[in-house]
Amino acid sequence: KRIFSIVCIPGDGIGVDITDAATQVLTKLSSTFGTFTLKFDTLDWSSKNYKERGYYAPEGGVNSLKKYDAIYFGAVGWPDVPDHISLWQMILPIRTTLNQYANVRPTKILPGTSSPLSACVADPSLLDWVIVRENSEGEYSGHGGTTPSTAHAAHTVATEVSIFTKVGCERIFRFAFETALSRPRKKLTMVTKSNAQRHGMVLWDAIFYEVAREYDGRVEYDKMLVDAMTVRMVNRPESLDTIVATNLHADILSDLAAALSGSIGIAPSSNLDPTRQFPSMFEPIHGSAPDIAGQGIANPIGAFWSAAEMIRWLAGADGASNDEGLVEGTGVGHMVEAADCLMQAIANVTENGVKTRDLGGKSGTREVTDAVCEEI
Amino acid sequence: KRIFSIVCIPGDGIGVDITDAATQVLTKLSSTFGTFTLKFDTLDWSSKNYKERGYYAPEGGVNSLKKYDAIYFGAVGWPDVPDHISLWQMILPIRTTLNQYANVRPTKILPGTSSPLSACVADPSLLDWVIVRENSEGEYSGHGGTTPSTAHAAHTVATEVSIFTKVGCERIFRFAFETALSRPRKKLTMVTKSNAQRHGMVLWDAIFYEVAREYDGRVEYDKMLVDAMTVRMVNRPESLDTIVATNLHADILSDLAAALSGSIGIAPSSNLDPTRQFPSMFEPIHGSAPDIAGQGIANPIGAFWSAAEMIRWLAGADGASNDEGLVEGTGVGHMVEAADCLMQAIANVTENGVKTRDLGGKSGTREVTDAVCEEI
Ligand SMILES: CC(C)[C@H](C(=O)O)[C@@H](O)C(=O)O
Ligand SMILES: CC(C)[C@H](C(=O)O)[C@@H](O)C(=O)O
């Protein structure tokens, strides 16, 4: 019986509510299966503590995460701390320090829920995507500055520098092609804005076509400009399958995808180190939602789905590639079955109408959580 | 009777079809009103000519546009020329050289057409937005490079540098606040990604709040992260009115807006020099659409709407600000009425079901054009 140690960072706002809910569901799952154990530690890296102590993670904090098998993250951000501070002190350094260069964001319409898109209201199967987000560089490199360093000089100029490396592009494209290969339709759409951004984005495109050659005949691929991509997501959802995009583009497109699938409250995200050298991190894509925090009404489905992805990743059976090629499924302790079971439980619960308000239901976080535990 | 000289640059693909259609409609409009005259010149700056001659605009070409009252642009881009070449040799230099720092993109659902959003299918008035796009700097500055300058070294790195100046931010925010003031609801939503982009975007935010102080109590304003903004556009379209965003963010959001309003084929865009030192440029937001070019089926509505915006701008009665404040309407030759008349003609035609395929109709470009001329 394999023991996995998971570190939870609930963070701020509804991050706390949904992390509680997720650990409850995960505990139920492992005790039901009985073939694997999850041990949880919790870290209080939050905006509240930042206000009191002056830091989110203590010195060496991010490195201390390396001893865990996985990281479960709630949400970070609170009105009284500028957002760029909360993010650059916590979530962004975790992603880059732990080599989590692939952020995977599946989207589909769950049973019993509906899309705001009229076409998908009639046929929810039209929308079934996985967005692979470059998670380590690009527009989130953090480079740049402001001169003079006050906003108040008439001639102040600030720069924001996006960095694209050949290594970074190659590995995310290879990961995306492997993801596409693992799905029934084996299609990959690459998103770019190389028409207007003539340096980094042009390299991005060139490397895409280099990597694509390795997959010729095995994966069907095409290229979209990010602006036109939003139109295609709205008008021809069925034409898309796997999508690969830069850090910023995929950030935007994955929120849009979540909205089109019914609610941002259901959308999961996995920050993966495909080499498995360091722990990967799992988090719902929604934020800390200060407006509904602590009211017991947050939708925990995105948190549960993220938890299912964590279990699947821990089993090593997800079809992701590492530097040497495909990691074959090891099926540790029936964990793939456990992940499937959790996804089925979620589907049964939404289908039965036990849903939070964002999905048009009346239930609270606790009620949905209990119902999912019940189904397991 | 005032004579305006307009230079048309049809460009590539359906740009040619819809520019023809627009000049036909504009000619009909001025002859019907009889109080103003439009004289058209046409320039053959196209991808076809680039292939033959090695350039789009000849030496000094962009400066030669300064003598016109306005520029009417079709579309540029063709599969056999890399997109970053076609754009950086034509449309982007025009926008920046002629100080067209404000790109204005209204969106609404036309009568007789419908939105793919189920909520807006029931109530089309929910969606009525103007996106104000920073059009001169930001992510489209063109700065950056690749080292080594081949994509084939293992350590190749490329950068894409976004530039934000205090001057550039200030003037676009002031323009956006004036636009919001000119609309019934007087609301402005500022879009940012300063949580992840901690230099340029942080300056963008700071200057927004500086300018906002001048409008306190007159315009209601708020701030959205660009990813969350897509969710709000889908879920709460009625909560938005005027929107201001960076060059890249607004590019993405305006395509999404067009898709949500029914078709990218109807969406207009005005590239304005609010100081009126140089001519402004009017273009539908769609591209050259190689797949349907030359088949007579392109939707000319975006082109007509852009033409109406051009007439309104020429009248100087649009409520836009310049560096000294508001430009008051001069009502030259009933041109405001003419612009209104053209918009009404468009609405009547779509309401009567004379629509191209992208709007669910069966008509071709010519039929729609004739119908609009008829209504005028
Ligand atoms: C919190 C923030 C940094 C984050 C991002 O932009 O990456 C969030 O929007 C996400 O999508 O995970
Ligand atoms: C053609 C291209 C440069 C352009 C842009 O990205 O600005 C287009 O998408 C637009 O929105 O006007």
Instruction: Give the chain A residue nearest B157 (alpha carbons).
Output: A165
Q: How far does the centroid of ligand 1 lie from the alpha carbon of residue A71, in Å?
A: 16
Residue B82: pLDDT band (50, 70, 90) is confident
B87 lines ligand 2 (CB under 6 A): yes
B296/B367 Cα distance (integer angstroms): 10
- CATH code, B10: 3.40.718.10
Whether residue B325 is predicted with pLDDT greater than 80 in this model: the reply is no
Per-residue pLDDT of A179-190, as tens digits, reads 999 999 999 999
> Could you tell me the CA-to-CA distances from A196 to A276, B162, B238 in Å, in that order?
36, 12, 31
What pLDDT is recorded for position B2? 82
- Reduced to 3 states (helix: H, G, I; strand: E, B; else coil), residue B187 is strand
- Length of chain A in residues, anyone? 376
Mode of pairing for the β-strands spanning A220-225 and A36-42: unpaired
Say if the Cβ atoms of A193 and B158 lie within 8 Å.
no
d(CA A68, CA B68): 67
Which residue bears the tokens 């039209």? Answer: A126
d(CA B259, CA B129): 13
Residues of chain A numbered 140-159 and touching chain B (CB < 8 Å) = 140, 142-146, 151, 153-159
pLDDT of residue A109: 97
Q: CA A127, CA A238: separation in Å to the nearest integer?
A: 6
Assigned token pair, A16: 């706390």
In chain A, residues with a C-beta closer than 8 Å to the C-beta of B198 are 84, 88, 142, 144
Three-state SS at B38:
strand
CA distances from B29 to A311, B272, B298 (A): 66, 22, 21
Q: Nearest C-alpha to atom 12 of ligand 2 is from which residue? A: B285
Residues A5, A26: Cα–Cα separation, whole Å? 12
Cβ contact A84–B167 (<8 Å): no
Segment B97-109 shows an average pLDDT of: 97
Residues A222 and A327 in one domain: no
Residue B320 has pLDDT above 90, yes or no: no
Neighboring chain A residues of B154 at a CB cutoff of 8 Å: 166-167
- Residues of chain B with pLDDT > 90, as a percent, come to 87
Spell out the SS3 assignment of chain A.
CEEEEEEEEEECCHHHHHHHHHHHHHHHHHHHHCCEEEEEEECCCCHHHHHHHCCCCCCCHHHHHHHCCEEEEEECCCCCCCHHHHHHHHHHHHHHHCCCCEEEEEEECCCCCCCCEHHHHHCHHHCEEEEEEECCCEEEEEEEEEECCCCCCCCCEEEEEEEEEHHHHHHHHHHHHHHHHCCCCCEEEEEECCCCCCCHHHHHHHHHHHHHHHHCCCCEEEEEEHHHHHHHHHHCHHHCCEEEECHHHHHHHHHHHHHHCCCHHHCEEEEECCCCCCCEEEEECCCCCCCCCCCCCCCCHHHHHHHHHHHHHHCCCCCCEECCEECCCCCHHHHHHHHHHHHHHHHHHHHCCCCCHHHCCCCCHHHHHHHHHHHC
Residues A280 and A337 in one domain: yes
Of the partner residues A157, A194, A195, the one whose CB lies closest to the CB of residue B163: A157
**A107 part of a folded domain:** no
**Nearest ligand 2 atom to alpha carbon B87:** 3
Same domain, A312 and A248: no
**pLDDT tens track, chain A, 376 positions:** 688 999 999 999 999 999 999 999 999 999 999 989 999 999 999 999 999 999 999 999 999 999 999 999 999 999 999 888 888 888 999 999 999 999 999 999 999 999 999 999 999 999 999 999 999 999 999 999 999 887 678 899 999 999 999 999 999 999 999 999 999 999 999 999 999 999 999 999 999 999 999 999 999 999 999 999 999 999 999 999 999 999 999 999 999 999 999 999 999 999 999 999 999 999 999 999 999 999 999 999 999 999 999 999 998 844 433 334 334 444 466 899 999 999 999 999 999 999 999 999 999 999 999 999 999 9
Domain final residue, candidates B218, B233, B261: B261
Beta bridge mates, B322: B325
Contacts of B121 in chain A (CB under 8 A): 118
Domain that residue A64 falls in = 1-101+274-376
Q: Which of A202, A228, A261 is the last residue of a domain?
A: A261
Q: What is the mean pLDDT of residues B291-315?
A: 96
CA of A136 to the centre of ligand 1 (A): 12
**Domain check: are B53 and B118 in the same one?**
no
Residue ranges of B 179-218 with Cβ closer than 8 A to chain A: 193-204, 206-207, 210
- A109 belongs to a structural domain: no
Q: How many domains does chain B have?
A: 2
Average pLDDT for B210-237: 97
Question: Which site among A88, A143, A198, A256 would you substitute to test the B interface, given the most B Cβ atoms closer than 10 Å to its Cβ?
Answer: A198
The percentage of residues in chain A with a pLDDT greater than 70, rounded to a whole number, is: 95
Check whether residue B229 and residue B302 sit in a common domain: no
Q: Do B257 and B119 fall into the same domain? A: yes
Mutate which of B14, B89, B91 for ligand 2? The one with the most ligand atoms within 8 Å of its CB, which is B91
- What residue owns the CA closest to ligand 1's atom 1? A87
Which residue's CA is minimally distant from atom 11 of ligand 2? Answer: B251
Q: pLDDT tens, B25-39?
A: 999 999 999 989 999
- Are A118 and A230 contained in the same domain? yes
Whether B195 sits inside 8 A of A77 (CB atoms) is yes
Do both B255 and B127 map to the same domain? yes
Question: Is the C-beta atom of B285 inside 6 A of ligand 2?
Answer: yes
pLDDT at B85: 87
Q: Does residue B4 lie within any of the structural domains? A: yes
The preferred substitution site among B107, B162, B251 for testing ligand 2, maximizing ligand atoms within 8 Å of CB, is: B251
Q: Which of A261, A293, A320 is the last residue of a domain?
A: A261
Do B70 and B182 lie in a common domain?
no
Residue B20: in which H helix or E strand, if any? helix B14-33
Q: Is B94 on the interface with A (CB under 8 A)?
A: no
Question: CA of A84 to nearest chain B CA: how many angstroms apart?
Answer: 4
- Environment class of residue B325 by beta-carbon count within 10 Å: exposed (0-12), middle (13-18) or buried (19+)? exposed
Helix or strand or coil: residue B371? Answer: helix
- β-strands B187-192, B157-165: how paired? unpaired
Q: Per the domain annotation, does A168 fall within a domain? A: yes
Residues in a beta bridge with B70: B6, B280
Tell whether A267 is covered by a domain. Answer: no
- Answer yes or no: is A174 within a domain: yes
Residues A256 and A278 in one domain: no
Mean pLDDT of B211-216: 98
* Predicted local distance difference test score (pLDDT) of residue B333: 66
In a domain? residue B106: no
Asked whether residue A15 is domain-assigned, the answer is yes
- The reply to whether the predicted model has a pTM over 0.85 is yes
Residues of chain B found within 8 Å of residue A235, distances taken between Cβ atoms: 116, 259
The DSSP bridge partners found for residue A243 are A131, A189
Statement to judge: residues A241 and A327 lie in one domain? no
Q: Are residues B143 and B22 in the same domain?
A: no
Which one of the ligands is nearest to A131 CA? Answer: 1
